[in-house]
Structure 1
Amino acid sequence: MLHTVAVPLIDGFAPFEFGVVCEVFGIDRTEDGVPPFDFRVCTPEPGRPVQAGVGAAMTSPFGFDQLERADLVAVPAYAIRAEYPPELLDALRAAHARGAQLLTVCSGAFVLADAGLLDGRRCTTHWRHAEEFSRRFPLARIDPDVLYVDDGQIITSAGTAAGIDAALHLVRRELGSEAATAIARRMVVPPQREGGQRQFIVQPVPERVAESLQPLLAWLSERLDTDHSVAEMARRAHMSERTFARRFLAETGTTPGRWLAAQRVLHARRLLEQSPLTVEEIARSAGFQTAAMLRHHFRRAVGVSPADYRRSFTQCP
């Protein structure tokens, strides 16, 4: 049962991610049927302000000792640093050892990983930080494609608004769907979103390819609506099919078929964002022939349907 919620703050905390946990756990929703939380913001030195990353500051009467009795420790995003305060890491380890739930938002996962609490665990963080996270914490099993990961005692979430999804999931898991829905309704957000981070990740056309295949790749990129066999591509590259397949893999990191599918999905994303074309028309323009085939490849690559992606990212009036 969630009753006491502690939020540790250090210099460089992100106001939005801090606001997410305040909004879900720090506001009295009892009139909506949500059990009250004993919500405590904790700082290294009670009464001494900690600086946010946007020029503001926060002062709290509570110190990190409050983490010792919290049912949930919610770690917001902080500016990523080489080392985190030892007193914070020790408090998090102690909270975890006695069975407290731990929740991170965005780069807050770096803190738990620095404390050794994500070793061997599946977890996530903002997709822009995933590569750095993997280098620093190779024992953690990072999944950069999801909005959040529920690994039992520890829940980690992706960038910014994904913290809302993770927090509401935790409320739903611990207190039931009615409580989560009531909080979501007051926040004017969906109680549960579909999809993952893949729909937000920028995927440009590869620039760093070897010179020998660059003309072919450019030629293919201009003719995505046409079928291209490996034999045809090999002839245009003046290679045997076996040599072409080997060279293509070495220079692009994937097979011709997968490369074409990825470029067609990228083209479809642009059209969904910038054009009023129907999904059927976009499917033909991108070389998928049918809307069903586009939906299949698009959902596998991006994590959501073309229609859902368009609703989120359309630039058309």
Structure 2
Amino acid sequence: MNLNTRIDAFVTLGAFLRQFSNSGIIQKEEIACNNEYFDLFLNKIETAHHYNSWFNKEQVLFACESWANALTEETIKKWIDSYQIPEKDGKTVAIIMAGNIPLVGFHDFLSVLITGHSVVVKQSSNDNQLLPVLANYLMAIQPGFKNKIEFTTQKLPEFDAVIATGSNNTARYFEHYFGNKPNIIRKNRNSVAILTGEETQEDLQNLGEDIFRYYGLGCRSVSKLYVPEAYDFDNFFKAIYSYSDILNEQKYVNNYDYNKAVYLMSLYKLLENGFLMLKEDQSFGSPIATLFFERYENLETLRKELTSKSEQIQCIVGNLADINTVPFGETQKPQLWDYADNVDTVDFLLKIY
């Protein structure tokens, strides 16, 4: 199974996923193996919230749309063409996946297989319903994957390298057990946004997408704002009001009520609008329904501070030319070449041949 064959298989998978979106779920006759897998995958989308109550249908479909958009022939080739991928048998790579957002480990899964390696996947129980169906679909359309994909819930079988994603605490465990193997070990990271006061209402409304998508549970979700010293939050609150229907999610409301009670009992000063609290805090990782903020004197000082704390930051949102920023509203739409923690996964995988 050569590189082009693998690319074709993932392009077909992208076409399969394109049937599932928030704008409509439409079964298409021309999609390969659709009779066997369309209803099966739709059932997993419908029932995902039974296994993780944060995975409602809208959020799962958004994840499917994102991957469908990424898995086109043009995008995959643009991503992979800058690498020299050998046409020979690869190694076995173990992937230990997080479970915070739907299909969160798919990029690692894709990267291992597209580079010709075999994969052993250990999923989080919080996100173990969707990927096995997509893996089985891949094996159905391209049997060459059948001896290259394995899932396990037990102790990992023999492997040559590992990609493990978790918290700062689990990272210590990973480093202890996997330190003698080639590895990528990811820890906690959060994303931030820089506001200057010159943003349009559209910018701020798009920022709401970065804050509320996946209820703020992703490492690319904005959990903190940096604002000028005299910043007025009125325009920000007006712009994000369109996201108030998040109050329809009872688990989010429970977190909002609980965290608000804790803050008030601790006599913290808060700004809030009924569904989001703003708390001045130097930390990065804010609780659900809370957004930390910090005021800055000037952008040059802020740039130096963010550079010194780069290992804690996944991405920076804003409209600044001199800082590597993601446009407002785009954090949850990364390109295939936007690597987690800025570690080039494909380069790592090619070095273990």
TM-score normalised over the length of structure 2? 0.27
Structure exhibiting the larger radius of gyration computed from Cα positions? 1
Give the number of the structure with larger relative contact order, counting CA–CA contacts within 8 Å between residues 6 or more apart: 2
Q: Which has the higher strand share?
A: 2
TM-score normalised over the length of structure 1? 0.29
